[in-house]
Chain A
Amino acid sequence: MRCSRNLVVTVIAAFCCVAAVAQGPAYHLGRTPTAEEIRAWDIAIGPHGKELPPGSGTAKEGAKIYAQRCAVCHGQTAEGGAARSLVGGIGTLNTSNPVPTVGSFWPYATTVWDYINRAMPPPPMQPGVLSADEVYSVTAFLLYRNGIIQENDVLDAKSLPKIQMPNRNGFVPPRPEWKPGMRRPFGFYPDR
Protein backbone atom coordinates (compact mmCIF):
# COMPACT_ATOMS: atom_id res chain seq x y z
CA MET A 1 0.00 0.00 0.00
CA ARG A 2 2.69 2.40 1.09
CA CYS A 3 4.80 1.33 -1.81
CA SER A 4 2.06 1.99 -4.35
CA ARG A 5 1.27 5.38 -2.82
CA ASN A 6 4.93 6.33 -3.12
CA LEU A 7 4.84 5.22 -6.70
CA VAL A 8 1.79 7.40 -7.38
CA VAL A 9 3.50 10.38 -5.73
CA THR A 10 6.61 9.78 -7.82
CA VAL A 11 4.61 9.52 -11.02
CA ILE A 12 2.68 12.72 -10.19
CA ALA A 13 5.91 14.52 -9.37
CA ALA A 14 7.45 13.36 -12.63
CA PHE A 15 4.37 14.48 -14.58
CA CYS A 16 4.39 17.90 -12.92
CA CYS A 17 8.05 18.21 -13.80
CA VAL A 18 7.34 17.42 -17.45
CA ALA A 19 4.38 19.81 -17.47
CA ALA A 20 6.54 22.55 -15.99
CA VAL A 21 9.18 22.01 -18.64
CA ALA A 22 6.54 22.04 -21.39
CA GLN A 23 5.18 25.32 -19.98
CA GLY A 24 8.60 26.97 -19.82
CA PRO A 25 9.41 29.93 -22.02
CA ALA A 26 11.01 28.87 -25.30
CA TYR A 27 12.15 32.24 -26.62
CA HIS A 28 12.97 34.37 -23.58
CA LEU A 29 11.77 37.58 -25.21
CA GLY A 30 9.83 40.32 -23.45
CA ARG A 31 10.45 41.51 -19.92
CA THR A 32 8.63 41.20 -16.61
CA PRO A 33 6.43 44.23 -15.89
CA THR A 34 6.75 45.86 -12.50
CA ALA A 35 3.85 45.64 -10.04
CA GLU A 36 3.36 49.40 -10.56
CA GLU A 37 3.11 48.99 -14.34
CA ILE A 38 0.48 46.26 -13.96
CA ARG A 39 -1.47 48.35 -11.47
CA ALA A 40 -1.42 51.40 -13.77
CA TRP A 41 -2.55 49.46 -16.84
CA ASP A 42 -5.07 47.12 -15.25
CA ILE A 43 -8.33 49.03 -15.59
CA ALA A 44 -10.53 46.00 -16.43
CA ILE A 45 -13.23 45.47 -13.78
CA GLY A 46 -14.91 42.05 -13.79
CA PRO A 47 -18.41 41.31 -12.44
CA HIS A 48 -16.88 40.24 -9.09
CA GLY A 49 -15.39 43.75 -8.79
CA LYS A 50 -12.13 42.51 -7.33
CA GLU A 51 -10.08 45.07 -9.29
CA LEU A 52 -12.18 48.00 -8.03
CA PRO A 53 -9.90 50.60 -6.43
CA PRO A 54 -10.37 52.22 -3.01
CA GLY A 55 -12.75 55.18 -2.93
CA SER A 56 -16.47 55.84 -2.64
CA GLY A 57 -19.28 58.10 -3.77
CA THR A 58 -23.00 58.80 -3.61
CA ALA A 59 -25.61 59.94 -6.11
CA LYS A 60 -25.71 63.35 -4.43
CA GLU A 61 -22.03 63.93 -5.18
CA GLY A 62 -22.42 62.32 -8.60
CA ALA A 63 -25.15 64.77 -9.63
CA LYS A 64 -22.68 67.66 -9.55
CA ILE A 65 -20.04 65.82 -11.57
CA TYR A 66 -22.68 64.60 -14.02
CA ALA A 67 -23.88 68.17 -14.60
CA GLN A 68 -20.32 69.34 -15.28
CA ARG A 69 -18.98 66.46 -17.35
CA CYS A 70 -21.79 64.36 -18.79
CA ALA A 71 -24.96 66.43 -19.23
CA VAL A 72 -23.65 68.18 -22.34
CA CYS A 73 -24.07 64.92 -24.32
CA HIS A 74 -26.42 62.73 -22.26
CA GLY A 75 -28.85 65.52 -21.27
CA GLN A 76 -29.52 67.27 -17.94
CA THR A 77 -31.71 64.40 -16.73
CA ALA A 78 -29.61 61.63 -18.35
CA GLU A 79 -32.51 60.88 -20.68
CA GLY A 80 -30.37 61.41 -23.73
CA GLY A 81 -29.15 64.16 -26.01
CA ALA A 82 -26.38 63.93 -28.57
CA ALA A 83 -25.49 60.66 -26.82
CA ARG A 84 -27.79 57.87 -25.74
CA SER A 85 -30.24 57.88 -22.89
CA LEU A 86 -28.86 56.41 -19.67
CA VAL A 87 -32.10 56.07 -17.72
CA GLY A 88 -35.56 54.57 -18.09
CA GLY A 89 -36.88 51.87 -20.40
CA ILE A 90 -37.32 49.29 -17.64
CA GLY A 91 -40.10 46.92 -18.74
CA THR A 92 -39.91 47.85 -22.43
CA LEU A 93 -37.54 45.16 -23.72
CA ASN A 94 -40.22 42.73 -24.88
CA THR A 95 -42.41 45.43 -26.43
CA SER A 96 -42.40 46.66 -30.02
CA ASN A 97 -40.47 49.75 -28.90
CA PRO A 98 -37.70 48.54 -26.59
CA VAL A 99 -35.61 51.22 -24.86
CA PRO A 100 -32.30 49.67 -23.75
CA THR A 101 -30.47 51.88 -21.23
CA VAL A 102 -28.04 51.37 -18.37
CA GLY A 103 -31.06 50.83 -16.13
CA SER A 104 -33.19 48.63 -18.36
CA PHE A 105 -30.50 46.59 -20.12
CA TRP A 106 -27.04 46.48 -18.53
CA PRO A 107 -26.66 43.28 -16.48
CA TYR A 108 -23.82 44.36 -14.14
CA ALA A 109 -23.17 47.58 -12.22
CA THR A 110 -19.42 46.88 -12.42
CA THR A 111 -19.64 47.49 -16.19
CA VAL A 112 -20.99 50.99 -15.52
CA TRP A 113 -17.98 51.76 -13.34
CA ASP A 114 -15.51 50.19 -15.80
CA TYR A 115 -16.88 52.06 -18.81
CA ILE A 116 -17.14 55.49 -17.16
CA ASN A 117 -13.59 55.06 -15.86
CA ARG A 118 -12.03 53.90 -19.14
CA ALA A 119 -14.01 55.77 -21.76
CA MET A 120 -15.82 58.82 -20.37
CA PRO A 121 -15.89 61.64 -21.19
CA PRO A 122 -15.04 60.38 -24.67
CA PRO A 123 -12.31 61.71 -27.00
CA PRO A 124 -11.60 64.49 -27.89
CA MET A 125 -12.33 65.09 -24.21
CA GLN A 126 -10.20 63.16 -21.77
CA PRO A 127 -11.27 59.63 -20.87
CA GLY A 128 -9.70 58.52 -17.63
CA VAL A 129 -9.71 62.03 -16.15
CA LEU A 130 -12.22 61.18 -13.40
CA SER A 131 -10.87 60.12 -10.00
CA ALA A 132 -12.02 56.85 -8.43
CA ASP A 133 -14.30 58.80 -6.05
CA GLU A 134 -15.81 60.65 -9.00
CA VAL A 135 -16.43 57.42 -10.94
CA TYR A 136 -18.15 55.87 -7.89
CA SER A 137 -20.25 59.03 -7.57
CA VAL A 138 -21.35 59.21 -11.23
CA THR A 139 -22.11 55.46 -11.17
CA ALA A 140 -24.23 56.02 -8.05
CA PHE A 141 -26.02 58.94 -9.74
CA LEU A 142 -26.98 56.82 -12.77
CA LEU A 143 -28.15 53.92 -10.62
CA TYR A 144 -30.15 56.32 -8.44
CA ARG A 145 -31.75 57.96 -11.48
CA ASN A 146 -32.81 54.49 -12.62
CA GLY A 147 -34.38 53.74 -9.26
CA ILE A 148 -31.90 50.98 -8.48
CA ILE A 149 -30.31 52.56 -5.35
CA GLN A 150 -31.16 55.39 -2.96
CA GLU A 151 -29.73 58.89 -3.21
CA ASN A 152 -27.56 58.52 -0.11
CA ASP A 153 -26.38 54.94 -0.69
CA VAL A 154 -22.58 54.79 -0.63
CA LEU A 155 -20.95 52.94 -3.51
CA ASP A 156 -17.50 51.46 -3.00
CA ALA A 157 -15.52 48.36 -3.94
CA LYS A 158 -17.65 46.25 -1.58
CA SER A 159 -21.17 47.53 -2.27
CA LEU A 160 -20.98 48.06 -6.05
CA PRO A 161 -20.56 44.39 -7.14
CA LYS A 162 -23.51 43.38 -4.92
CA ILE A 163 -26.03 45.53 -6.77
CA GLN A 164 -28.62 43.46 -8.61
CA MET A 165 -29.37 45.11 -11.95
CA PRO A 166 -33.01 44.78 -13.17
CA ASN A 167 -32.06 42.95 -16.39
CA ARG A 168 -29.47 40.64 -14.81
CA ASN A 169 -31.35 37.58 -16.05
CA GLY A 170 -32.31 39.03 -19.43
CA PHE A 171 -29.43 37.46 -21.36
CA VAL A 172 -28.99 34.10 -23.02
CA PRO A 173 -27.22 31.83 -22.60
CA PRO A 174 -27.00 32.53 -18.84
CA ARG A 175 -23.38 31.40 -18.65
CA PRO A 176 -21.43 32.16 -21.80
CA GLU A 177 -18.94 29.50 -22.75
CA TRP A 178 -17.23 28.17 -25.83
CA LYS A 179 -15.47 24.91 -26.50
CA PRO A 180 -13.42 23.93 -29.54
CA GLY A 181 -15.73 22.58 -32.22
CA MET A 182 -18.79 24.35 -30.86
CA ARG A 183 -20.92 25.42 -33.84
CA ARG A 184 -23.06 28.47 -34.32
CA PRO A 185 -26.70 27.39 -34.16
CA PHE A 186 -28.35 27.32 -37.60
CA GLY A 187 -30.46 30.40 -38.17
CA PHE A 188 -28.87 31.94 -35.12
CA TYR A 189 -31.88 32.20 -32.89
CA PRO A 190 -30.76 31.84 -29.26
CA ASP A 191 -31.30 28.56 -27.46
CA ARG A 192 -34.65 28.44 -25.74
Chain B
Amino acid sequence: MNAKESGRRKFLKGGVALAGLAVGGLRVASGQSSGAEAAASPHKDSRTYGERSRFDTAERQPTGAAPYGDTALVTPIQALTGIITPAGLHFVMDHLAGVPDIDPQQHRLMIHGMVDRPLIFTVEELKRLPSVSRIHFLECNANSRPLQGPKAESVQQVHGKTSCSEWTGVLLSLLLQEASVQAGASWLVSEGAEGNKYTKSLPLAKAMEDVLVAYGQNGEPVRPEQGFPLRLLVPGWEANYSTKWLRRIKIVDQPYMTQHESTHNANLHPDGKAHWFRFEMGVKSVITRPCGGQKLPSPGFYEITGLAWSGGGTVRKVEVSTDGGRTWKNAELQQPVHRKAHTRFRLPWTWDGNETILQSRCTDDQGEMQPTIAELAKIWEVSTDYFLGSGVDHFNAIQPWKVNRDGSVHNALFS
Protein backbone atom coordinates (compact mmCIF):
# COMPACT_ATOMS: atom_id res chain seq x y z
CA MET B 1 0.00 0.00 0.00
CA ASN B 2 2.99 2.21 0.45
CA ALA B 3 4.49 3.94 -2.56
CA LYS B 4 7.85 2.40 -1.74
CA GLU B 5 6.67 -1.16 -1.27
CA SER B 6 8.67 -2.51 -4.19
CA GLY B 7 10.85 -4.50 -1.80
CA ARG B 8 7.93 -6.79 -1.12
CA ARG B 9 7.71 -7.73 -4.75
CA LYS B 10 10.02 -9.89 -6.72
CA PHE B 11 10.99 -8.51 -10.06
CA LEU B 12 11.81 -10.67 -12.99
CA LYS B 13 14.83 -8.96 -14.40
CA GLY B 14 14.18 -7.83 -17.94
CA GLY B 15 17.64 -8.90 -19.01
CA VAL B 16 17.10 -12.46 -17.84
CA ALA B 17 13.76 -12.70 -19.61
CA LEU B 18 15.28 -11.37 -22.81
CA ALA B 19 18.23 -13.74 -22.68
CA GLY B 20 15.81 -16.65 -22.63
CA LEU B 21 13.96 -15.34 -25.64
CA ALA B 22 17.01 -14.46 -27.68
CA VAL B 23 17.31 -18.06 -28.88
CA GLY B 24 13.96 -17.76 -30.59
CA GLY B 25 15.02 -14.43 -32.01
CA LEU B 26 17.72 -16.06 -34.11
CA ARG B 27 15.24 -18.06 -36.13
CA VAL B 28 13.94 -16.60 -39.35
CA ALA B 29 10.54 -15.04 -38.99
CA SER B 30 8.71 -17.75 -40.82
CA GLY B 31 11.18 -20.51 -40.15
CA GLN B 32 10.50 -23.83 -38.58
CA SER B 33 12.84 -25.56 -36.26
CA SER B 34 13.09 -29.32 -36.40
CA GLY B 35 11.58 -31.42 -33.66
CA ALA B 36 15.05 -32.20 -32.38
CA GLU B 37 15.64 -28.52 -31.59
CA ALA B 38 12.53 -28.19 -29.48
CA ALA B 39 13.53 -28.02 -25.84
CA ALA B 40 12.00 -30.43 -23.36
CA SER B 41 9.22 -28.68 -21.49
CA PRO B 42 10.01 -27.72 -17.91
CA HIS B 43 6.27 -27.34 -17.32
CA LYS B 44 4.27 -29.38 -14.87
CA ASP B 45 1.63 -31.86 -15.98
CA SER B 46 0.29 -30.46 -19.27
CA ARG B 47 -3.08 -32.13 -18.70
CA THR B 48 -3.88 -29.61 -15.94
CA TYR B 49 -2.88 -26.62 -18.07
CA GLY B 50 -2.50 -27.52 -21.71
CA GLU B 51 0.55 -26.74 -23.77
CA ARG B 52 0.91 -26.38 -27.52
CA SER B 53 2.61 -29.00 -29.65
CA ARG B 54 6.40 -29.06 -29.49
CA PHE B 55 6.30 -28.65 -33.27
CA ASP B 56 4.58 -25.26 -32.95
CA THR B 57 7.54 -22.92 -32.57
CA ALA B 58 6.06 -19.46 -33.17
CA GLU B 59 7.56 -17.09 -30.61
CA ARG B 60 7.83 -13.46 -29.75
CA GLN B 61 11.15 -11.98 -30.86
CA PRO B 62 13.17 -9.21 -29.27
CA THR B 63 13.60 -6.21 -31.53
CA GLY B 64 17.10 -5.54 -30.25
CA ALA B 65 18.24 -2.33 -28.67
CA ALA B 66 15.59 0.34 -28.95
CA PRO B 67 16.13 4.04 -28.30
CA TYR B 68 16.14 5.06 -24.63
CA GLY B 69 16.62 1.54 -23.33
CA ASP B 70 13.07 0.31 -23.87
CA THR B 71 12.93 -3.12 -25.42
CA ALA B 72 10.11 -4.75 -27.32
CA LEU B 73 9.15 -8.35 -27.89
CA VAL B 74 7.16 -8.54 -31.09
CA THR B 75 4.28 -10.80 -32.10
CA PRO B 76 4.79 -13.37 -34.88
CA ILE B 77 1.75 -12.06 -36.78
CA GLN B 78 2.67 -14.30 -39.74
CA ALA B 79 1.87 -17.33 -37.53
CA LEU B 80 -1.54 -16.13 -36.32
CA THR B 81 -4.86 -17.47 -37.58
CA GLY B 82 -8.19 -15.67 -37.18
CA ILE B 83 -8.21 -12.41 -35.21
CA ILE B 84 -7.13 -13.32 -31.65
CA THR B 85 -3.50 -13.16 -30.54
CA PRO B 86 -2.71 -15.88 -27.99
CA ALA B 87 -1.80 -14.19 -24.70
CA GLY B 88 1.64 -15.82 -24.76
CA LEU B 89 2.38 -14.16 -28.12
CA HIS B 90 0.98 -10.69 -27.34
CA PHE B 91 3.69 -8.10 -28.02
CA VAL B 92 5.44 -6.66 -24.97
CA MET B 93 6.99 -3.24 -24.52
CA ASP B 94 9.26 -3.13 -21.50
CA HIS B 95 9.86 0.33 -20.05
CA LEU B 96 12.99 -0.65 -18.11
CA ALA B 97 11.30 -2.13 -15.05
CA GLY B 98 10.73 -5.74 -16.05
CA VAL B 99 7.59 -7.65 -15.17
CA PRO B 100 6.42 -7.31 -11.55
CA ASP B 101 5.26 -10.42 -9.70
CA ILE B 102 2.07 -9.10 -8.12
CA ASP B 103 -0.09 -10.97 -5.61
CA PRO B 104 -3.67 -10.07 -6.64
CA GLN B 105 -4.82 -10.38 -3.03
CA GLN B 106 -2.48 -7.52 -2.11
CA HIS B 107 -3.10 -5.39 -5.19
CA ARG B 108 -5.33 -2.30 -4.93
CA LEU B 109 -6.69 0.29 -7.36
CA MET B 110 -7.09 3.80 -5.96
CA ILE B 111 -9.25 6.42 -7.67
CA HIS B 112 -8.81 9.92 -6.27
CA GLY B 113 -8.14 13.56 -7.16
CA MET B 114 -11.09 15.64 -8.40
CA VAL B 115 -13.76 13.23 -7.16
CA ASP B 116 -16.34 13.49 -4.37
CA ARG B 117 -15.63 9.97 -3.15
CA PRO B 118 -12.03 8.73 -3.39
CA LEU B 119 -12.11 4.92 -3.51
CA ILE B 120 -9.80 1.96 -3.08
CA PHE B 121 -10.86 -1.30 -4.72
CA THR B 122 -9.54 -4.81 -4.27
CA VAL B 123 -9.39 -6.96 -7.41
CA GLU B 124 -12.20 -9.14 -5.99
CA GLU B 125 -14.41 -6.07 -5.54
CA LEU B 126 -13.80 -5.05 -9.14
CA LYS B 127 -14.80 -8.55 -10.26
CA ARG B 128 -18.12 -8.20 -8.42
CA LEU B 129 -19.07 -5.17 -10.54
CA PRO B 130 -20.93 -5.45 -13.87
CA SER B 131 -18.41 -6.61 -16.49
CA VAL B 132 -18.01 -6.41 -20.25
CA SER B 133 -15.90 -8.40 -22.74
CA ARG B 134 -14.68 -6.67 -25.88
CA ILE B 135 -12.29 -7.59 -28.67
CA HIS B 136 -9.73 -4.83 -29.28
CA PHE B 137 -6.27 -4.48 -30.76
CA LEU B 138 -3.38 -2.84 -28.96
CA GLU B 139 -0.75 -1.30 -31.21
CA CYS B 140 2.48 0.46 -30.28
CA ASN B 141 2.90 3.92 -31.79
CA ALA B 142 6.27 2.73 -33.18
CA ASN B 143 4.76 -0.24 -35.04
CA SER B 144 5.47 -0.54 -38.79
CA ARG B 145 8.39 1.89 -38.60
CA PRO B 146 10.42 1.24 -41.80
CA LEU B 147 13.50 -0.88 -41.10
CA GLN B 148 16.68 -1.60 -43.04
CA GLY B 149 18.62 -4.80 -43.64
CA PRO B 150 17.45 -8.32 -42.79
CA LYS B 151 14.87 -7.08 -40.27
CA ALA B 152 13.01 -5.27 -43.04
CA GLU B 153 12.30 -8.70 -44.57
CA SER B 154 10.43 -9.88 -41.45
CA VAL B 155 6.76 -8.99 -41.07
CA GLN B 156 7.19 -9.83 -37.40
CA GLN B 157 9.99 -7.29 -36.92
CA VAL B 158 8.30 -4.55 -38.96
CA HIS B 159 4.62 -5.00 -38.03
CA GLY B 160 4.67 -7.23 -34.91
CA LYS B 161 3.97 -4.49 -32.35
CA THR B 162 0.23 -5.09 -32.65
CA SER B 163 -1.90 -7.77 -31.02
CA CYS B 164 -5.61 -8.38 -30.49
CA SER B 165 -7.38 -9.95 -27.52
CA GLU B 166 -10.76 -10.37 -25.95
CA TRP B 167 -10.50 -8.15 -22.87
CA THR B 168 -12.82 -8.52 -19.89
CA GLY B 169 -13.22 -5.99 -17.12
CA VAL B 170 -15.18 -3.06 -15.74
CA LEU B 171 -15.92 0.05 -17.75
CA LEU B 172 -13.87 2.91 -16.32
CA SER B 173 -16.95 5.13 -16.71
CA LEU B 174 -18.72 2.95 -14.12
CA LEU B 175 -15.87 3.34 -11.61
CA LEU B 176 -15.75 7.10 -12.19
CA GLN B 177 -19.50 7.27 -11.62
CA GLU B 178 -18.99 5.50 -8.29
CA ALA B 179 -16.30 8.04 -7.35
CA SER B 180 -18.37 10.99 -8.68
CA VAL B 181 -16.11 13.18 -10.80
CA GLN B 182 -16.19 16.87 -9.90
CA ALA B 183 -16.98 19.73 -12.24
CA GLY B 184 -13.89 21.12 -13.96
CA ALA B 185 -12.10 17.78 -14.24
CA SER B 186 -10.88 17.09 -17.78
CA TRP B 187 -8.00 14.57 -17.66
CA LEU B 188 -6.82 11.67 -15.59
CA VAL B 189 -3.38 10.32 -14.77
CA SER B 190 -3.02 6.53 -14.67
CA GLU B 191 -0.16 4.81 -12.91
CA GLY B 192 1.29 1.29 -12.80
CA ALA B 193 2.62 -0.64 -9.82
CA GLU B 194 5.92 -1.74 -11.38
CA GLY B 195 9.30 -0.59 -10.11
CA ASN B 196 9.39 2.73 -11.93
CA LYS B 197 5.63 3.33 -11.85
CA TYR B 198 4.83 4.11 -15.47
CA THR B 199 2.38 6.98 -15.73
CA LYS B 200 0.34 8.55 -18.51
CA SER B 201 -2.31 11.24 -18.95
CA LEU B 202 -5.65 10.45 -20.61
CA PRO B 203 -8.48 12.82 -21.56
CA LEU B 204 -11.49 12.26 -19.30
CA ALA B 205 -13.86 12.26 -22.30
CA LYS B 206 -12.12 9.16 -23.68
CA ALA B 207 -12.15 7.54 -20.23
CA MET B 208 -15.94 7.96 -20.16
CA GLU B 209 -16.36 6.65 -23.72
CA ASP B 210 -15.04 3.09 -23.96
CA VAL B 211 -12.06 2.54 -21.66
CA LEU B 212 -11.85 -0.68 -19.63
CA VAL B 213 -10.14 -1.62 -16.40
CA ALA B 214 -9.35 -5.15 -17.58
CA TYR B 215 -8.62 -8.24 -15.52
CA GLY B 216 -9.35 -10.85 -18.21
CA GLN B 217 -7.59 -11.60 -21.49
CA ASN B 218 -8.79 -14.30 -23.89
CA GLY B 219 -10.80 -16.10 -21.23
CA GLU B 220 -8.21 -16.13 -18.44
CA PRO B 221 -6.57 -13.59 -16.17
CA VAL B 222 -4.47 -10.93 -17.92
CA ARG B 223 -0.94 -12.31 -18.29
CA PRO B 224 1.84 -10.84 -16.09
CA GLU B 225 3.60 -9.27 -19.11
CA GLN B 226 0.26 -7.67 -20.03
CA GLY B 227 -0.46 -6.16 -16.62
CA PHE B 228 -1.69 -8.86 -14.22
CA PRO B 229 -3.84 -8.40 -12.25
CA LEU B 230 -5.25 -5.13 -13.69
CA ARG B 231 -4.58 -2.98 -16.70
CA LEU B 232 -6.14 -0.05 -18.47
CA LEU B 233 -7.39 -0.82 -21.97
CA VAL B 234 -7.86 2.27 -24.15
CA PRO B 235 -9.43 1.04 -27.42
CA GLY B 236 -7.98 2.30 -30.71
CA TRP B 237 -5.31 4.52 -29.17
CA GLU B 238 -1.55 4.20 -28.93
CA ALA B 239 -0.97 1.23 -26.63
CA ASN B 240 1.07 3.40 -24.26
CA TYR B 241 -2.20 4.84 -22.88
CA SER B 242 -3.20 1.36 -21.67
CA THR B 243 -1.23 1.40 -18.41
CA LYS B 244 -0.31 -2.06 -17.13
CA TRP B 245 -0.29 -3.23 -13.49
CA LEU B 246 -2.77 -0.38 -12.90
CA ARG B 247 -2.75 0.81 -9.28
CA ARG B 248 -3.95 4.41 -9.41
CA ILE B 249 -6.18 6.79 -11.34
CA LYS B 250 -6.01 10.46 -10.37
CA ILE B 251 -8.64 12.77 -11.79
CA VAL B 252 -7.13 16.16 -12.72
CA ASP B 253 -7.85 19.27 -14.79
CA GLN B 254 -4.94 19.20 -17.23
CA PRO B 255 -2.48 16.70 -18.78
CA TYR B 256 0.40 16.03 -16.40
CA MET B 257 3.22 16.01 -18.97
CA THR B 258 4.64 12.76 -17.65
CA GLN B 259 8.07 11.59 -18.76
CA HIS B 260 6.75 9.45 -21.61
CA GLU B 261 4.49 12.13 -23.05
CA SER B 262 7.33 14.67 -22.80
CA THR B 263 9.92 12.43 -24.42
CA HIS B 264 9.67 9.30 -26.54
CA ASN B 265 5.92 9.50 -27.10
CA ALA B 266 6.44 12.89 -28.72
CA ASN B 267 7.73 12.50 -32.25
CA LEU B 268 10.17 15.04 -33.68
CA HIS B 269 9.34 16.28 -37.16
CA PRO B 270 11.73 17.75 -39.75
CA ASP B 271 10.94 21.32 -38.64
CA GLY B 272 12.13 20.60 -35.07
CA LYS B 273 8.64 20.61 -33.55
CA ALA B 274 7.40 17.52 -31.75
CA HIS B 275 3.84 16.24 -31.85
CA TRP B 276 2.76 15.15 -28.40
CA PHE B 277 -0.53 13.61 -27.28
CA ARG B 278 -1.20 11.70 -30.43
CA PHE B 279 -4.19 9.55 -29.66
CA GLU B 280 -5.81 7.36 -32.26
CA MET B 281 -3.95 4.78 -34.34
CA GLY B 282 -4.50 5.01 -38.08
CA VAL B 283 -6.14 2.75 -40.62
CA LYS B 284 -3.78 -0.09 -41.52
CA SER B 285 -3.53 -3.53 -43.09
CA VAL B 286 -0.74 -5.94 -43.88
CA ILE B 287 -0.60 -9.24 -45.76
CA THR B 288 0.82 -11.81 -43.34
CA ARG B 289 0.89 -14.72 -45.84
CA PRO B 290 2.71 -14.62 -48.18
CA CYS B 291 4.99 -12.05 -46.59
CA GLY B 292 8.62 -10.98 -46.42
CA GLY B 293 10.96 -13.74 -45.32
CA GLN B 294 8.73 -16.52 -46.68
CA LYS B 295 9.27 -18.58 -49.81
CA LEU B 296 6.56 -19.96 -52.06
CA PRO B 297 7.57 -23.54 -52.92
CA SER B 298 6.01 -23.55 -56.39
CA PRO B 299 3.51 -21.78 -58.62
CA GLY B 300 -0.11 -22.68 -57.91
CA PHE B 301 -2.87 -21.86 -55.47
CA TYR B 302 -2.32 -19.79 -52.32
CA GLU B 303 -4.75 -18.03 -50.05
CA ILE B 304 -3.57 -14.48 -49.47
CA THR B 305 -4.44 -13.49 -45.92
CA GLY B 306 -3.62 -10.77 -43.44
CA LEU B 307 -4.86 -8.41 -40.76
CA ALA B 308 -6.50 -4.99 -40.99
CA TRP B 309 -7.50 -2.58 -38.24
CA SER B 310 -8.37 1.05 -37.50
CA GLY B 311 -8.18 2.99 -34.27
CA GLY B 312 -11.02 5.14 -35.56
CA GLY B 313 -13.64 2.42 -35.78
CA THR B 314 -14.49 -0.60 -37.86
CA VAL B 315 -12.78 -2.00 -40.93
CA ARG B 316 -15.22 -1.64 -43.82
CA LYS B 317 -13.17 -2.89 -46.74
CA VAL B 318 -9.81 -4.45 -47.51
CA GLU B 319 -8.61 -4.49 -51.09
CA VAL B 320 -5.76 -6.65 -52.31
CA SER B 321 -3.62 -6.12 -55.41
CA THR B 322 -1.60 -8.97 -56.89
CA ASP B 323 -0.23 -6.98 -59.82
CA GLY B 324 1.75 -4.15 -58.29
CA GLY B 325 -1.26 -1.91 -57.68
CA ARG B 326 -2.72 -1.85 -61.19
CA THR B 327 -5.93 -3.60 -60.10
CA TRP B 328 -7.51 -4.19 -56.70
CA LYS B 329 -10.00 -6.83 -55.54
CA ASN B 330 -12.13 -6.83 -52.42
CA ALA B 331 -10.90 -9.41 -49.93
CA GLU B 332 -13.35 -11.40 -47.83
CA LEU B 333 -13.55 -10.10 -44.24
CA GLN B 334 -13.92 -12.59 -41.40
CA GLN B 335 -17.27 -11.98 -39.69
CA PRO B 336 -18.22 -10.47 -37.36
CA VAL B 337 -15.98 -7.42 -37.82
CA HIS B 338 -15.31 -5.86 -34.41
CA ARG B 339 -14.75 -2.17 -33.66
CA LYS B 340 -11.13 -1.21 -33.09
CA ALA B 341 -10.08 -4.82 -33.55
CA HIS B 342 -7.91 -6.86 -35.86
CA THR B 343 -9.96 -7.97 -38.85
CA ARG B 344 -8.87 -11.05 -40.81
CA PHE B 345 -9.03 -10.74 -44.59
CA ARG B 346 -8.65 -13.48 -47.18
CA LEU B 347 -8.39 -13.66 -50.96
CA PRO B 348 -7.82 -16.75 -53.14
CA TRP B 349 -4.84 -16.37 -55.50
CA THR B 350 -3.05 -18.50 -58.03
CA TRP B 351 0.60 -17.62 -58.53
CA ASP B 352 1.69 -18.04 -62.15
CA GLY B 353 5.39 -18.14 -61.28
CA ASN B 354 6.14 -14.61 -62.52
CA GLU B 355 7.59 -11.77 -60.51
CA THR B 356 4.84 -9.67 -58.93
CA ILE B 357 3.96 -7.42 -56.01
CA LEU B 358 1.27 -8.19 -53.43
CA GLN B 359 -0.24 -5.47 -51.26
CA SER B 360 -3.37 -4.67 -49.29
CA ARG B 361 -5.15 -1.44 -48.41
CA CYS B 362 -7.78 -0.93 -45.74
CA THR B 363 -10.72 1.49 -45.60
CA ASP B 364 -12.54 2.06 -42.31
CA ASP B 365 -16.13 3.03 -41.57
CA GLN B 366 -15.13 6.70 -41.49
CA GLY B 367 -14.13 6.37 -45.14
CA GLU B 368 -10.41 6.78 -44.53
CA MET B 369 -8.19 4.71 -46.81
CA GLN B 370 -4.68 3.53 -45.97
CA PRO B 371 -2.16 5.76 -47.82
CA THR B 372 0.83 4.84 -49.96
CA ILE B 373 4.30 5.86 -48.79
CA ALA B 374 4.35 8.41 -51.63
CA GLU B 375 1.15 10.00 -50.30
CA LEU B 376 2.62 10.20 -46.79
CA ALA B 377 5.83 11.76 -48.10
CA LYS B 378 3.76 14.39 -49.92
CA ILE B 379 1.84 15.30 -46.75
CA TRP B 380 5.08 15.49 -44.74
CA GLU B 381 6.87 17.39 -47.52
CA VAL B 382 9.79 14.96 -47.44
CA SER B 383 11.20 12.34 -49.81
CA THR B 384 10.17 8.75 -49.11
CA ASP B 385 13.74 8.05 -47.98
CA TYR B 386 13.09 10.32 -44.99
CA PHE B 387 10.99 7.57 -43.41
CA LEU B 388 13.94 5.17 -43.45
CA GLY B 389 15.71 5.37 -40.13
CA SER B 390 13.84 8.48 -39.01
CA GLY B 391 12.18 6.70 -36.10
CA VAL B 392 8.81 7.87 -37.41
CA ASP B 393 5.72 6.90 -35.41
CA HIS B 394 2.18 6.10 -36.61
CA PHE B 395 3.54 4.95 -39.95
CA ASN B 396 0.67 3.24 -41.77
CA ALA B 397 1.67 3.13 -45.43
CA ILE B 398 0.56 0.28 -47.67
CA GLN B 399 3.06 -2.60 -47.34
CA PRO B 400 4.09 -4.09 -50.71
CA TRP B 401 5.66 -7.57 -50.76
CA LYS B 402 7.58 -8.54 -53.90
CA VAL B 403 7.43 -12.16 -55.04
CA ASN B 404 10.52 -13.17 -57.05
CA ARG B 405 10.56 -15.92 -59.67
CA ASP B 406 12.27 -18.26 -57.20
CA GLY B 407 9.29 -17.80 -54.86
CA SER B 408 11.17 -15.70 -52.30
CA VAL B 409 9.16 -12.79 -50.87
CA HIS B 410 10.79 -9.45 -50.07
CA ASN B 411 9.88 -6.08 -48.60
CA ALA B 412 9.27 -3.70 -51.52
CA LEU B 413 8.31 -0.57 -49.56
CA PHE B 414 11.08 1.51 -51.10
CA SER B 415 11.14 0.06 -54.61
Contacts and interface: CB of A to CB of B under 8 A. Distances in A.
A187 B375 contact: yes
B38 interface: no
A127 B195 contact: yes
Interface stretch (B43-51, B147-155, B277-285): B277-285
Contacts of A24: 180
A176 B180 CA distance: 24
Interface string A137-149: 0000000000000
Interface residues of A, number: 64
Interface in A138-179: 170-173, 176-179
B262 A107 contact: yes
Contacts of B178: 25-27, 29-30
A44 B256 contact: yes
Contacts of A114: 199, 256, 258-259
The dominant DSSP class at the A interface is loop
B295 to A, nearest CB: 34
A60 interface: no
A45 interface: yes
A44 B249 CA distance: 10
B2 A40 contact: yes
Interface in A113-129: 114-115, 118-120, 122-124, 126-129
A119 B197 contact: yes
Interface in A170-192: 170-173, 176-180, 182-184, 186-190, 192
A180 to B, nearest CB: 5
A33 B257 CA distance: 26
B196 A123 contact: yes
Given A47-B256, A126-B6, A172-B273, A100 B268 contact: yes
Interface in B215-263: 247-248, 250, 252, 254-259, 262-263
Given A29-B178, A94-B270, A100 B263 contact: yes
22 contacts: A25-B177, A26-B178, A30-B121, A31-B119, A37-B1, A41-B1, A41-B3, A44-B189, A47-B254, A107-B257, A111-B257, A111-B259, A119-B96, A119-B196, A122-B96, A123-B194, A127-B195, A171-B273, A172-B276, A183-B312, A183-B368, A184-B281
